[in-house]
Amino acid sequence: MNRRELLAVAAALGLVPGLARAQGADAATLARDAWLFALPWIEMATTRARVFKRGARPNRIYHRRKLSDHTDRSVTTPNNDTLYSLAWIDLTQGPVTLTIPASGQRYVSAAILNMFTDNDVVLGTRVNGGAGGDFTVVGPSQTATGDRVVRVLTPHAWILIRTLVDGPDDLAAARKVQSGFKVSGPKAERPPAYLERDADPAAYFATARALLAADPPRPEDAAFIQRSAGLLTDGPFDAAALAAGVAQARAVAKLASGRVAFVNGWSYPKPNLGYHGVDYGYRAIVALQGLGALPVAEAMYMKAAGDNNSGLFNGDGLYRLTLPAQLPLDGFWSLSMYEATADGQYFFTDNPIDRYAIGDRTPGLKRNADGTLDLWISRSDPGGERSVNWLPAPKAGPFSMTLRTYLPRADLLEGRFRFDPIVKV
């Protein structure tokens, strides 16, 4: 990639609303922006296909009965705090009913994401307290009555449910609550298979057009689609410009994690996480690096700056994170460890103590005399009293860490509270 192309990539990291709405953009720029615009549909379809390949069907719920570990590679940056349940729903045949159990003091959330990855609603502890109930989920043009009707902006959607596990001894009780989540609806056929993001440019956009036809974007997106020179509709396009633009788009996706703005060692989510509007660039990067992310009122995800503000750690030494005695949140917190893949995704890493995250429910953590907590991060056991507070890093290769805080309070949401950085000891 030459200097001009690199400059274009750098500019695209701040993609929209500026560039994506620019008049008179050249063909390669249009291809770049259109590739990123369509990426959420592609990633959702890819994730759905992986589930259906294992025998799942639409409008049925599937419960994962164990916490995610290093063997789970279907969704990037999973958590190790909650049991996941999921359903891919098809509303083209009629409404679907989502049953939420009474959960008491246990945190639960049921996020319903449309096919361009916005959270149309998040039900559960924050919204409904510990009460349960039946909710009617309807598509964009369907009608329903009652005070528990939830509207989704696309005919197909993803219900992603999280049930908190309060430590190893709580797994059986958590599973009992998890079993209370149910989905029922009309019988629907599995959708056709779609190509993935590594498809050649022409095939990628053919797939994108099919996905957008099945699950149309919002009216606010019409202006951008009109300027996509037929890529997102059905017009012809210059092959050379198409290839150049897609190469830039893939570079944007690969470099994005290194262009994050860090504050005192952490990146903080944008306020529109989970409700992206016309911020297509941010939406694309979230789809690639954190598909299914909750909105900030539900949870805040902070990524550590890593070595040299790259978002990745490469060192073989010892790192430390010090947390205050009290954090400004009403839920729970955890620090997760991920190995980084070449295409910009993150998964748990195998380790000798089967610890993929460390948090407020980790048994045996040792606090300092003033109540603060030192967490130790390294590839090998730091030894002594530090071992109980150890988060293992991969045996080799770059790694990333994400700090999750659930039900954050205003001080955290509004930036008055900031975490200390992870430091190399």
In tens, the pLDDT along 328-384 reads 999 999 999 999 988 778 999 999 999 999 999 999 999 999 999 999 999 999 999
The secondary structure element, H or E, covering residue 160 is: strand 156-164
| Residue carrying the six token digits 């300027």 | 227
Question: Into how many domains does the chain fold?
Answer: 3
* Domain-embedded: residue 363: yes
* 156 part of a folded domain: yes
| 169 and 205, same domain (yes or no) | no
Residue 155 within a domain: yes
Residue 20: give the domain boundaries. Answer: 3-47+195-257
Q: Based on the fold, state whether residues 240 and 323 are members of the same structural domain.
A: no
Strand partners, 112: 121, 159
Give the pLDDT confidence score for residue 259 in this predicted structure.
57
Q: At what angle do helices 3-12 and 239-255 cross, to 10 degrees?
A: 60
Q: Is residue 142 part of a domain?
A: yes
Q: Are residues 162 and 210 in the same domain?
A: no
Separation of alpha carbons 311 and 313, rounded Å? 7
Q: Is residue 280 part of a domain?
A: no
Same domain, yes or no: 317 and 383? yes
Residue-level pLDDT at 5: 43
Output the six-digit token pair for 206. 């053919």
pLDDT at 352: 96
293 occurs within a structural domain: no
- Report in angstroms the alpha-carbon separations of 109 from 103, 161, 167, 188, 291: 10, 6, 18, 25, 16
Name which of 374, 345, 380 is nearest 358 in CA terms: 374
Q: Does 263 fall in a domain?
A: no
Is 251 a domain residue? yes
pLDDT < 50 positions in the chain: 1-10, 12-13, 15-23, 258
pLDDT tens sequence across 181-211: 999 999 999 999 899 999 999 999 999 999 9
**Side chain identity at 108, as an amino acid letter?**
V
The answer to whether the CB of 175 falls within 8 A of the CB of 65 is yes
Could you tell me where the DSSP H helices lie in 90-220?
125-128, 171-178, 201-214
The structure tokens 């409700």 sit at 275
| Together in a domain, 148 and 107 | yes
Whole-number pLDDT of residue 193:
87
Single pTM value for the model: 0.89
- Name the token pair of 219: 């009216």
CATH number at residue 108: 2.60.40.1610
